[in-house]
Structure 1
Amino acid sequence: MPADAPRPGDDAPVAAPTTRVFFALWPSPAIANRLHQLARKAAATDARLMRVDTLHLTLAFIGDVALDCLPAIEAIGDRLVWPRCTLHLDQLGHWPHNQILWAGSQSPPDALANLAGELSSGLQTIGITLAARPFVPHVTLARRCRQASATVIEPVEWAVEGGVLAVSHRDASGARYEIRRRWTAA
């Protein structure tokens, strides 16, 4: 076969490049540091604490999407009114089935559940359907946490002032997040 002759499979479609994305609330450095300190106190010594720069509250986990879908996803964020509210993180929880230590709120603002619903609805209009599960606003503090030593915490007051679209890059050291877009609360 000549060197420039087509090879079997050369006409096969090439998969479009993808990236893993999610909408989230991103805490200020001061709030992230407080949450990280909580994790250090409450997580088992062999747990993998989340790095301070990765702490966030996921509003809508989208997953892997083609890069050319990102403008349509960003447009959903552009159409929303991002609420300004205060999130009282006043409880620690532990999900033993997936070994997650998390911080959450006993009474989260309705605005966050509404925002998560609007994001889900907006994503459906462009053909992205999120996993059907209730919205449980929480910040993952540690993974591989087989047990938590504390559940009562001094509340952390998080002034929510907007949201982000984040891109997740995974490697051997874990996840690294890049903020692709920010939206400021109204």
Structure 2
Amino acid sequence: MAEPGQSESSPATPPSLRLFFALWPDDATRDALNRTGKWLHQHWGGRRMRADTLHITLAFLGSTPADQLDVLAACADAVKTDAFELVLDQAGYWRHKRIGWLGASQTPPQHVDLVGALNAALQGAGFAVDARPHVPHVTLLRNTAGGEVPACVQVNWSVSDFVLVSSRTETDGARYEVIRRWPLS
């Protein structure tokens, strides 16, 4: 018997999730990022990101059928990279997107390896990946006017894992749920 709104001949569309892989900060790092966001907001204005949404995107997947979660887990399982220290020491502004961010002036080779291995596994499984060079950054402000880039206090992030995150949009902004974590060596 067909579900309401579907004919007998049309198969049910599998549910989909809006997904991305990310670096997810621990509480101390999240607090430091949130303080930096507050400080940057005093200089540039705009809308601050909520502390519970702060992260570094590694690979954005977008709307993905929920039945692909096992395939995504297998891709992440294939990634073998060492843990590393990420120093976020550079505030920046992307005028075209009106985004204020905190990034790394030097990207550790382990971060490059992580993104490369993850993208290779995803591409091998048939997922589209962003061909642009990865720029590790945490979005701290949206709809900001930006301005002269002030010197900022660096945030030291001990990266020991990466996560798969589901995102849903609600009236007060995005809500993120960590689906699974993968440790780094």
TM-score normalised per structure 2: 0.90
- Deviation string, structure 1 residues 67-89 (Cα, Å, up to 9, x no partner): 00011101111121242110010
Aligned to 2:153: 154
CA radius of gyration, larger in: 1
Specify the SS of the correspondent of 2:20: strand
State the match for 2:79 in structure 1.
80
CA RMSD in angstroms, aligned pairs only: 1.8
Equivalent position amino acid for 1:11 in 2: S
Query: What does residue range 75-114 of structure 1 map to in structure 2 within 5 Å?
Result: 75-114=74-113
| Structure 2 unpaired stretches of 5+ | none
C-alpha distance in 2 between matches for 1:83 and 1:58:
18
| Mapping 1:1-80, distance limit 5 Å | 9-43=7-41, 46-80=45-79
Query: Contact between 1:85 and 1:109, CA under 8 Å: does it hold in 2?
Result: yes
CA deviation map 1:113-157 (0-9, x unaligned): 121111111111211011221100111111111224643111111
Structure 1 residue 159: Cα displacement? 0.7
Distance 1:93 1:45, change over 3 A: closer
SS in 2 for 1:35: helix
Measured in 2, the distance between the counterparts of 1:79 and 1:37 equals 35
Q: Say if 1:8 and 1:144 are closer, same or farther in 2 by CA, change over 3 A.
A: closer
Aligned residue pairs total 180
CA contact (8 A) 1:49 1:142 kept: yes
Q: 1:69 to 1:91 in 2, by over 3 A?
A: same
Shift in CA distance, 93/13, structure 1 to aligned 2, threshold 3 Å: same
Give the Cα separation in 1 of the matches to 2:148 and 2:8: 57
**Deviation (angstroms), 1:8:** 9.2
Go from structure 1 to structure 2 and tell me whether the alpha carbon gap of 1:103 and 1:79 turns closer, same or farther (over 3 Å shift): same
Stretches (4+) displaced over 4 A? 7-10
SS at 1:146's partner residue?
coil
Distance 2:46 2:140 in 1: 10
Q: Do the aligned partners of 2:161 and 2:183 also contact (CA within 8 Å) in 1?
A: yes
Work out the percentage of aligned pairs sharing the same amino acid. Answer: 38
